[in-house]
């Protein structure tokens, strides 16, 4: 047997999904849905190929340029550093808030996940305002000059703090579903808590860690807001220079294609990590919830650690926003009626995107998880195409196709929701896949053996067990859709403004005080889904 | 299992609620007076300039022509790329660009309509397309902003002096911004590639501090991070108007080295438009006295129409500012060569 599970627990085997499930064929309807979804998700990549095909020589020149390669390596280094740091933060926090008796752990769970709602273009600026040269911290400390936070370090810090929740969510979700009997057995054999964690718990968390880590890495690859403010030249900076400064459509497409190729490589690496340690529960599930691990003296360092994290990642940015908003209100820059209308628009768009994204992600995750094979693997990879690309590229791709093929839909909310779904689909797939890994196919097979049809089995058995993952996926899509900017500016109906577009309006000319209220409202709207996620995102028994 | 069923209905309820609320609050544009105008009458404007910068001019036109203007606000370059992708199916009638390069790129794709002579003649030749496809509306002056702690006697007469060691690490610039890239293009046209490349490399060696946009540079000077910045005039003028005359950043118009270069915001009519007459009418309105006066008083930019007085904060008259030959700043190929040179020099 491969994998890190001891031989004393014969109910558990480390197997690839294919070995466990055999070559099952998916129902035709599911497969058809998956094909349609993947075809939609891959539209941006198709657009890139069309543009490149129109001007092949220059596109290849740009893609294979030595300087491009250097920037790519630099960006990969940043992505790796951010992913590593995010995992190192998320796993301990997940364990502390799920498995120990940490005081106030439900509150900590929500607080530690909240940084996800802060848009990177706002967050980076807040960090500079707080921690940068002549920032608020420097004034507060009365120091002449703080060490510079710009460059690789600053970009790494900001991106880590805003992406670790992407790992935290699936890991927490999985941790709550684990069978404590396994760990008890290991402890009973005399293993220390740490060894137990390392050999029993961690292998079961790998799929969740891998899923979250992939999302974090891809996010870093496609982010522009944070890296430009922190003055780190990343791959997306190259893309922006090519279309914003040089108006070179071909170069933009060439660089975008490199990103997509890179994403495929990352996906392949990710699937190796996931499948080499995939664990499926063979028994019916935990018979009792796990006993909280008593922290004792360690409670204080744990609380200190959580407080430090929440302070830097959440309290600091919010404090800056509150400070600015008091100036904004004093200056008369805000109208409650307008902010309310903006909030309604943001909410509506994000809700639609979450519904669509969650549903599509469910289809893809089921295909990849329950009917493994070359086809579903391909569909899953195609579904990631839109996430690795910057939002503006996704938007331009849809402008291209919509104006040529489905003109009535152009610049309607429908197209915008479609764009957001394409752009954020993997965020939904990750958590559902992780949850699916904790649901044994044997239970479904038993139900089928009792005569229930596949749809009924899904409805009565699989879906309730997946509920946590589906909610987590939809909530992640919601959180990202609500703060999205470039696609909204281009594809939304004229006059349809959101909190994000209003923030952009104000910050373009430096009216940061006026941008603070919309930012705070954005955080306020996004917080409840996060709470729902943390608390309801699991099955009661 | 009663608790299990609670999650999904709650979600559905929340979504339904948000849909209802959203449907009520969908239109956040400023068109909240009067009855609904029929779609065919109004025009659609793609504006790379934010509402505060053009709102007044749009209102003037809507009142005078009794016609609705639907405006899409977004980044100028994003809009230019969008117009190119839309091609002949573009819903836009007019494109108002913040920088010359963007509208030059759109014109190079053959997507703009030639403007009538009476409009073109409203502005001096240097501030419009020689082929007549777009026209400048306002002028944004490049200047050197300086901290009030720097004595006037020390201020450089030309940006070329900024490579001097005495300014090491004290100067901020924005290589990623369109306006600096336009400035470098103008330098290449006026002084040649070699001298420009020397200047770029000199700035990099002299530790010129890199910022993502002009506002950051202005704020950095105000904070004492740097002493000088190569930015546009109105960022400082607006801050002074908002915060008062004690604002710690001042404006210097360098007399040489194109230090006071004027960049145009320009407007063009799309060839694909179904409402060309109305669109041209709108452009005419932008160049008429009322709109021009709005632009200069609110955004502190130079009015390019011939008979309009600039805002008092613009201390140097437009005629005294040297300009590169007409059209070159709008040439996309020139811009692309500039980008290449900046990348080779390590500035980008």
Residue numbers in A near B87 (CB within 8 A): 403
Contact between B75 and A244 using a beta-carbon 8 Å cutoff: yes
From A181-195, B202-216, B251-265, the region with the lowest mean pLDDT: A181-195
Q: Would you say residue B16 lies in a domain?
A: no
Beta-bridge mates of residue B70: B44
Same domain, B217 and B169: yes
Q: What is the DSSP letter of B194?
A: H
Contact between A403 and B31 using a beta-carbon 8 Å cutoff: no
- Quote the pLDDT of residue A136: 67
Contacts with A285 (C-beta within 8 Å, 6 or more apart), sequence order: A177, A179, A440
Is pLDDT at B25 greater than 50 in this prediction?
Answer: no
Q: Would you say residue B29 lies in a domain?
A: no
A199 vs B290: which has the higher pLDDT:
B290
Per-residue model confidence as pLDDT tens digits over A351-390? 999 999 999 999 999 998 888 888 988 999 999 989 989 8
Contact between B81 and A536 using a beta-carbon 8 Å cutoff: no
Is the ipTM higher than 0.85? The answer is no
Residue numbers in B near A400 (CB within 8 A): 85
- What CATH number has the domain bearing residue A90? 1.10.3720.10
- Quote the pLDDT of residue B249: 94
Q: Write the residue in A67, A249, A395 that is nearest to B84 by C-beta.
A: A249
Same domain, B132 and B275: yes
Contact between B50 and A509 using a beta-carbon 8 Å cutoff: yes
Same domain, B206 and B67: no
Q: Would you say residue A409 lies in a domain?
A: yes
Contact between A351 and B71 using a beta-carbon 8 Å cutoff: no
Nearest CA in chain B to A478: B15
Measured in angstroms, the CA of A249 and the nearest CA of chain B are apart by 8
From A284-298, B71-85, B309-323, the region with the lowest mean pLDDT: A284-298
- Quote the pLDDT of residue A472: 82
Q: Residue A64 in contact with residue A142, Cβ under 8 Å?
A: no
Same domain, B149 and B231: yes
From A41-45, B33-37, B115-119, the region with the lowest mean pLDDT: B33-37
Q: Would you say residue B2 lies in a domain?
A: no
Spatial distance between the Cα atoms of B197 and B158, rounded to a whole number of angstroms: 16
Per-residue model confidence as pLDDT tens digits over A382-431? 999 899 898 999 999 999 999 999 888 899 999 999 999 999 999 998 88
Number of domains in chain B: 2
Q: Write the residue in A247, A403, A407 that is nearest to B105 by C-beta.
A: A247
Q: Would you say residue B246 lies in a domain?
A: yes
Q: Write the residue in A341, A392, A410 that is nearest to B28 by C-beta.
A: A341
Same domain, B307 and B173: no
Q: What is the DSSP letter of B171?
A: E
B158 vs B243: which has the higher pLDDT:
B158
Q: Which two tokens stand for residue A190?
A: 């005399």
| Domain around A403 | 23-290+299-536
Same domain, B118 and B220: no
Q: Would you say residue A439 lies in a domain?
A: yes
Q: Would you say residue A16 lies in a domain?
A: no
Measured in angstroms, the CA of A465 and the nearest CA of chain B are apart by 10
Q: Write the residue in B8, B73, B78 that is nearest to A392 by C-beta.
A: B78
- Quote the pLDDT of residue A3: 40
Q: Write the residue in B28, B84, B215 that is nearest to A510 by C-beta.
A: B215
Measured in angstroms, the CA of B343 and the nearest CA of chain A are apart by 10
Same domain, B274 and B133: yes
- Quote the pLDDT of residue B43: 94
Q: Write the residue in B14, B89, B212 that is nearest to A229 by C-beta.
A: B212
Measured in angstroms, the CA of A364 and the nearest CA of chain B are apart by 20
Contact between A340 and B73 using a beta-carbon 8 Å cutoff: no
Q: Would you say residue A531 lies in a domain?
A: yes
pLDDT exceeding 90 applies to what percent of chain B?
53
Same domain, B152 and B203: yes
| Domain around B150 | 140-261+336-345
Q: Would you say residue B282 lies in a domain?
A: yes
Residue numbers in A near B147 (CB within 8 A): none
- Quote the pLDDT of residue A240: 85
Please report where in the chains the tokens 């400070």 appear, as a residue.
Answer: A323
Is pLDDT at B247 greater than 80 in this prediction?
Answer: yes
Same domain, B126 and B144: no
Measured in angstroms, the CA of A227 and the nearest CA of chain B are apart by 10
Q: Would you say residue B59 lies in a domain?
A: yes
Spatial distance between the Cα atoms of A423 and B163, rounded to a whole number of angstroms: 44
Q: Would you say residue A5 lies in a domain?
A: no
Q: Would you say residue A447 lies in a domain?
A: yes
Residue numbers in B near A399 (CB within 8 A): 82, 85-86
Q: Write the residue in A228, A403, A490 that is nearest to B78 by C-beta.
A: A490
Contact between B91 and A410 using a beta-carbon 8 Å cutoff: yes
Residue numbers in B near A508 (CB within 8 A): 50, 215
> How distant is the alpha carbon of residue A33 from its chain centre?
23
Q: Would you say residue B13 lies in a domain?
A: no
Same domain, B73 and B128: yes
Number of domains in chain A: 1
Residue numbers in A near B224 (CB within 8 A): 134
Per-residue pLDDT band for B168 (boundaries 50, 70, 90) equals very high
Distance spanning both ends of chain B, measured CA to CA: 61
Q: Which two tokens stand for residue A30?
A: 């599911």
Residues of chain A with pLDDT below 70 are: 1-23, 132-139, 141-147, 275-288, 330-334, 509, 533-541
- Quote the pLDDT of residue B305: 92
- What CATH number has the domain bearing residue B91? 3.40.190.10
Q: Would you say residue B31 lies in a domain?
A: no
Q: How many CB pairs under 8 A join A and B?
A: 168
Q: Residue B145 in contact with residue B229, Cβ under 8 Å?
A: yes
Q: Write the residue in A345, A403, A471 that is nearest to B25 by C-beta.
A: A345
Contact between B7 and A536 using a beta-carbon 8 Å cutoff: yes
Per DSSP, the residues of B91-155 read: --SEEEESSHHHHHHHHHTT-EEPPPHHHHTTS-GGGB-TTSS-EEEEEEEEEEEEETTS-GGG-
- Quote the pLDDT of residue A417: 96
Helix (H) or strand (E) run with residue B267 in it: strand B262-270
Contact between A341 and B80 using a beta-carbon 8 Å cutoff: no
Contact between B339 and A245 using a beta-carbon 8 Å cutoff: yes
Per-residue pLDDT band for B137 (boundaries 50, 70, 90) equals very high
Contact between B18 and A347 using a beta-carbon 8 Å cutoff: yes
Spatial distance between the Cα atoms of A334 and A331, rounded to a whole number of angstroms: 8
Same domain, B270 and B131: yes
Residue numbers in B near A134 (CB within 8 A): 223-225
Average pLDDT score over chain B = 85
Contact between B336 and A247 using a beta-carbon 8 Å cutoff: yes
């Amino acid at each position: 047997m491969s994998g890190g599970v001891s031989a004393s627990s014969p109910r558990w085997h480390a197997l690839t999904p294919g070995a466990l499930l055999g070559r099952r064929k998916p129902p035709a309807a599911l497969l058809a849905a998956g094909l349609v979804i993947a075809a939609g998700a891959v539209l941006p990549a198709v657009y890139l190929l069309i543009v490149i095909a129109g001007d092949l020589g220059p596109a290849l020149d740009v893609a294979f340029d030595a300087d491009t390669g250097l920037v790519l390596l630099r960006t990969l280094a940043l992505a790796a550093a951010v992913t590593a740091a995010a995992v190192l933060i998320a796993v301990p926090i997940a364990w502390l808030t799920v498995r120990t008796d940490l005081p106030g752990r439900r509150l900590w769970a929500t607080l530690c996940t909240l940084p996800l709602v802060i848009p990177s273009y706002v967050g980076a600026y807040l960090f500079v305002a707080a921690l940068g040269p002549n920032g608020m911290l420097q004034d507060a400390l009365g120091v002449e000059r703080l060490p510079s936070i710009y460059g690789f370090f600053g970009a790494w810090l900001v991106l880590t703090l805003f992406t670790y929740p992407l790992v935290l969510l699936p890991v927490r979700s999985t941790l709550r579903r684990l069978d404590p009997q396994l760990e008890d057995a290991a402890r009973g054999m005399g293993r220390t808590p740490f060894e137990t964690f390392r050999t029993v718990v961690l292998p079961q968390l790998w799929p969740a860690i891998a899923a979250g880590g992939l999302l974090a890495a891809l996010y870093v690859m496609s982010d522009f807001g944070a890296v430009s403010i922190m003055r780190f030249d990343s791959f997306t900076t190259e893309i922006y220079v090519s279309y914003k400064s040089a108006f070179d459509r071909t170069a933009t497409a060439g660089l975008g294609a490199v990103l997509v190729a890179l994403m495929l490589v990352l996906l392949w690496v990710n699937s190796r990590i996931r499948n080499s340690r995939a664990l499926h529960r063979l028994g019916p599930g935990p018979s009792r919830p796990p006993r909280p691990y008593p922290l004792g003296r360690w409670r204080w360092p744990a609380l200190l650690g959580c407080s430090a994290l929440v302070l830097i990642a959440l309290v600091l940015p919010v404090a800056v926003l509150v400070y600015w908003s008091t100036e904004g209100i004093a200056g008369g820059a805000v109208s409650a009626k307008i902010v309310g209308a903006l909030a309604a628009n943001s909410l509506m768009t994000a809700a639609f995107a979450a519904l669509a994204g969650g549903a599509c992600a469910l289809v893809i995750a089921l295909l990849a998880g329950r009917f493994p094979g070359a086809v579903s693997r391909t569909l899953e990879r195609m579904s990631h195409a839109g996430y690795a690309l910057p939002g503006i590229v996704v938007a331009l791709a849809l402008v291209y196709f919509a104006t040529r093929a489905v003109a009535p839909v152009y610049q309607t909310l429908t197209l915008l929701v479609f764009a957001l779904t394409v752009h954020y689909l993997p965020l939904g797939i990750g958590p559902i896949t992780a949850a699916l890994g904790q649901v044994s196919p044997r239970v479904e097979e038993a139900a089928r053996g009792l005569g229930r049809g596949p749809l009924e089995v899904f409805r009565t058995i699989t879906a309730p067990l997946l509920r946590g993952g589906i909610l987590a996926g939809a909530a992640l899509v919601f959180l990202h859709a609500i703060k999205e900017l470039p696609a909204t500016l281009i594809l939304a109906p004229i006059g349809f403004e959101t909190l994000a577009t209003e923030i952009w309006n104000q910050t373009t000319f430096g009216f940061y005080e006026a941008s603070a209220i919309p930012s705070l409202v954005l955080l306020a709207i996004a917080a409840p889904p996060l709470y729902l996620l943390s608390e309801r995102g699991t099955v009661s028994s | 299992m009663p608790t299990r069923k609670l999650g999904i209905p709650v979600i559905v309820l929340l979504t339904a609620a948000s849909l209802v609320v959203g449907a009520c609050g969908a239109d956040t544009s400023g068109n909240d007076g009067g009855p609904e105008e029929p779609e065919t009458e109004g025009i659609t404007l793609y504006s790379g300039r934010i509402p505060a910068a053009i709102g007044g001019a749009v209102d003037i036109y809507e009142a005078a022509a009794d016609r609705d203007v639907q405006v899409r606000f977004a980044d100028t370059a994003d809009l230019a790329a969008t117009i190119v992708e839309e091609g002949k199916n573009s819903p836009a009638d007019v494109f108002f660009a913040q920088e010359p390069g963007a509208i030059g790129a759109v014109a190079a794709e053959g997507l703009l309509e030639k403007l009538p002579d009476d409009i073109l003649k409203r502005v001096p030749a240097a501030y419009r397309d020689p082929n007549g496809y777009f026209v400048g509306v306002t002028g944004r002056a490049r200047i050197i902003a300086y901290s009030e702690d720097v004595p006037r006697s020390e201020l450089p007469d030309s940006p070329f002096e900024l490579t001097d060691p005495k300014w090491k690490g004290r100067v901020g610039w924005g290589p990623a911004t369109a306006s600096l890239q336009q400035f470098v293009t103008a330098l290449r046209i006026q002084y040649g590639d070699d001298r420009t490349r020397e200047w770029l490399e000199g700035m990099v060696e002299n530790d010129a501090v890199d910022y993502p946009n002009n506002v950051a540079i202005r704020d950095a000077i105000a904070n004492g991070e740097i002493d000088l910045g190569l930015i546009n005039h109105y960022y400082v003028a607006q801050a002074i108007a908002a915060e008062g005359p004690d604002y710690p950043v001042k404006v210097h118009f360098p007399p040489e080295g194109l230090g006071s270069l004027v960049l145009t915001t320009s407007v063009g009519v799309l060839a694909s438009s179904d409402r060309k007459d109305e669109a041209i009418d709108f452009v005419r309105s932008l160049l008429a006295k009322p709109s021009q006066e709005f632009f200069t008083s609110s955004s502190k930019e130079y009015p390019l129409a011939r008979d309009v007085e600039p805002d008092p904060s613009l201390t140097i008259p437009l005629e005294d500012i040297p300009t590169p030959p007409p059209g070159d700043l709008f040439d996309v190929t020139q811009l692309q060569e500039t980008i290449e040179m900046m990348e080779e020099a390590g500035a980008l």
